[in-house]
Structure 1
Amino acid sequence: MFKSKNLLFLMLLSAFVLILAACGSDEEGSSTTETDNGASSGEATTDAELDFEGTKFISILTGGTQGTYYPLGGTFADLITTDTGVKATAEVSQASAANMTSLANGDAEVAFVQTDIAYYATNGTLMFEGEAIDSVVALGALYPETVQLVTLADSGIKTFADLKGKKVSVGAPGSGTFANAEQLLEIHGLTMDDIQAQNLDFGESTDGIQSGQIDAAFITAGYPTGAVEALNATNGVYIVPVEADKAEELIAKYPYYAVDNIPSGTYGLESDIPAVSVGAMLAVKKDLPEDLVYAMTKAIYDNTDKISHAKGAFIKAESGLDGIGIDVHPGAQRYFDEVK
């Protein structure tokens, strides 16, 4: 009888131990069971792992090193990297028109673009005639890009009419600057045939003015532009004005322009210079994940106080959709809807 009781006790004890082991196994298993999103329920999962569809790196196409896009691009890359965990890098490029083509070809994810060039590209007009781009959309508007006709103060060039027969840099064929130069010449009764057109970038243009190889240059960029500041440090510069009546005529024909003004003190100018501008914007590939574009937009527009460039004062969430003439990425739209 005693032995029977002991045997029964041992059997019950063994069963109890097995039950405890099974419960422990279930609890342990629950800590490693994957949830519907593929992540372990007991592990912390970052937004990048959940929402960015594996995107770890992005390239931001800017422009030449002496323009405005490049330094701003470096700042944006830092903000995006810090806030999203996605490594962003600013890349030197041939600027607006080339940037649209590069985005369409999948060579980068984000790019600086003039608003007028983005419009031409998506509508297949001017330099994009018959080659409309439908795979690129807007992230947001940035700041005015002033069309600056730069020359030396002692060049004798004071008006557009004075350009006749002169060597003038108009930017690369197909570039935003080239289109701006062509349209401003048109409004002033001139064509490319009336000048000795030179296809130079910003740095080459100001070097050419300094050396006397060219007489003037069209430079479309946010002021103060590094290349023009460098020129003014060694030679006094002059910006040829766009008078009010000509600005109105230009805007009537090409509504993506706006009246602008280069204030006295810029480049050592003694008085304000009336000018016109287009907008600078960021464009992105349409197929970028919505949550990534939302996070990038937030990283930039929530941190404009960290932008040291003078144009940072113009970059604001409340004006982030101003002047945008193309579709906006859903991720960016979501951000701007939230901050209204």
Structure 2
Amino acid sequence: MSFVPVSVRDAFAQRPRIVRAALVALVALCLVVTYAVLTREDEPTPGGPVSLATGVPTGVYHRYGELLRPRLSADLKVRVTVDPSGGSVENLRRVTDGTATFGIATADAVADVPARDRDRLRAVARLYDDYIQLVVPSRSPVTQIADLRGRRVVVGSPGSGVELITRRLLREVGMDLERDIVPIRIGVGEATDRLRDGSVDAFFWSGGLPTGAVAELAAGWPVRLVKLGYLAGAMRDEYGPVYREAVVPADAYPGGAETPTIAVPNLLVTTASRDDELVRRVTETVMENREAIGREVHAAQLVDPRTAIFTDPLPLHAGARRWYRSVKP
């Protein structure tokens, strides 16, 4: 008969209990991990309520934001508000000072932000391009920007990207916005009414195609677009690659004609300090709903993950970059 020390016999006797305890702990850990994975997408997004600064109520920015809002709210499980504004310049100010979580802005307005503030900004996506539109009555003698001298011209709402680019276009032909025209600062909705009743001679607009307010005007009253494309090269030389020559197609508006113009990209913008997971999920929602929104806002059909990462003059937010990498082939 062999002799086994008591301490050794006790160790062997305890082994089943140790193994059982380890297995129980392992199963519990697996359940916790599985629960976390399955419920993560149902949890409210870090960062609390979300606000999106858009633009004038009759513009493409605001329409796009209104269609995006319920989708963001459903995906993020938080309250999402869409706030009208004067446009790009005001949106950037709101994002920078924290009164808006996200904002839509043209790339030229972003580039115009002082470097100290721009360093705090990050891009979520390049969305679609705005087309610069100078709208006049069809019988107007205005055939080029220089013909606006002395006339009553809508230059966009205060704080808009429209006003920024109008000032630059006038400067390219040797004119000053304050001295050489009668500037009227209102949104595109009111501008169409004022052009129709004859209290203004022309209006500038920067927006996706087609812009609803301009389309409604053209459907019931004869208007035309003035060619601006010949200034694209000079604008690029002066202000950088945010501008490119483009063409408004003839079918953009009722009774329209193909018109060379200038285009500028729109960016969805936030701050560098915004929570990575929040930005990742916003990026996902924007990209996964582009076709549904595009059925109602034609410009949104151009939102594309392959081009959304080209957000110069801003770098991508880390959360947005994480989403784009996750879907990269």
Is the pair's TM-score, using the shorter chain for normalization, greater than 0.5? yes
8 A Cα contact 2:59 2:188, kept in partner: yes
8 A Cα contact 2:218 2:255, kept in partner: no
Q: SS at 1:112's partner residue? A: strand
Counterpart in the other structure of 2:99: 107
Counterpart in the other structure of 1:20: none
Of the candidates 166, 188, 201, which is equivalent to residue 202 of structure 1?
A: 188
Of the candidates 192, 200, 203, which is equivalent to residue 214 of structure 1?
A: 200
Of the candidates 118, 123, 126, which is equivalent to residue 115 of structure 2?
A: 123
Q: Distance in 2 between matches of 1:175 and 1:46?
A: 39
Q: 1:43 to 1:210 in 2, by over 3 A?
A: closer
Counterpart in the other structure of 1:61: 53
Counterpart in the other structure of 1:79: 71
Counterpart in the other structure of 1:128: none
Amino acid at match of 2:276: E
Structure 1 position 42, deviation (Å): 9.2
Output one character per residue of 1:137-169: Cα deviation in whole Å (capped at 9) or x when no partner.
111101110111111112222221211111001
Amino acid at match of 2:323: Y
The reply on whether 1:277 has 2:263 as its aligned counterpart is yes
**Max radius of gyration: which structure?**
1
Counterpart in the other structure of 1:90: 82
Structure 1 position 292, deviation (Å): 1.5
Gaps of 5+ in 1: 1-22, 125-131
Q: 1:42 to 1:328 in 2, by over 3 A?
A: closer
Output one character per residue of 1:261-289: Cα deviation in whole Å (capped at 9) or x when no partner.
10002222442100001111101132221
8 A Cα contact 1:302 1:317, kept in partner: no
8 A Cα contact 2:158 2:186, kept in partner: no
Alignment RMSD, CA only?
A: 2.9
Q: Distance in 1 between matches of 2:53 and 2:229?
A: 33
Structure 1 position 41, deviation (Å): 6.7
Counterpart in the other structure of 1:294: 280
Q: Distance in 1 between matches of 2:152 and 2:36?
A: 69
Counterpart in the other structure of 2:325: 337
Counterpart in the other structure of 2:13: none
Amino acid at match of 1:302: E
8 A Cα contact 2:89 2:160, kept in partner: yes
Amino acid at match of 2:89: A
Counterpart in the other structure of 1:184: 169
Counterpart in the other structure of 1:310: 298
What is the TM-score of this pair, normalised by structure 1?
Answer: 0.81
Structure 1 position 175, deviation (Å): 2.6
Task: Show the 5 A alignment for 1:220-231.
Answer: 220-231=206-217
The reply on whether 1:319 has 2:307 as its aligned counterpart is yes
Of the candidates 233, 239, 243, which is equivalent to residue 219 of structure 2?
A: 233
Q: Distance in 2 between matches of 1:109 and 1:261?
A: 33
Q: Distance in 1 between matches of 2:159 and 2:62?
A: 20
Structure 1 position 78, deviation (Å): 2.4
Q: Distance in 1 between matches of 2:114 and 2:284?
A: 25
Of the candidates 29, 36, 40, which is equivalent to residue 46 of structure 1?
A: 40
Q: Distance in 2 between matches of 1:196 and 1:312?
A: 34
Q: SS at 1:60's partner residue? A: strand
Structure 1 position 133, deviation (Å): 4.4
8 A Cα contact 1:68 1:222, kept in partner: yes
Counterpart in the other structure of 1:159: 144
Structure 1 position 181, deviation (Å): 0.4
Q: 1:46 to 1:160 in 2, by over 3 A?
A: same
Q: Distance in 1 between matches of 2:152 and 2:66?
A: 33
Amino acid at match of 1:158: T
Gaps of 5+ in 2: 1-19
The reply on whether 1:137 has 2:122 as its aligned counterpart is yes
Structure 1 position 184, deviation (Å): 0.9
Q: 1:305 to 1:42 in 2, by over 3 A?
A: closer
Amino acid at match of 2:41: D
8 A Cα contact 2:236 2:243, kept in partner: yes
Q: Distance in 2 between matches of 1:297 and 1:303?
A: 10
8 A Cα contact 1:144 1:279, kept in partner: yes
Amino acid at match of 1:118: V
The farther-off stretch of 140-149 and 223-232 is: 223-232
Q: 1:49 to 1:98 in 2, by over 3 A?
A: same
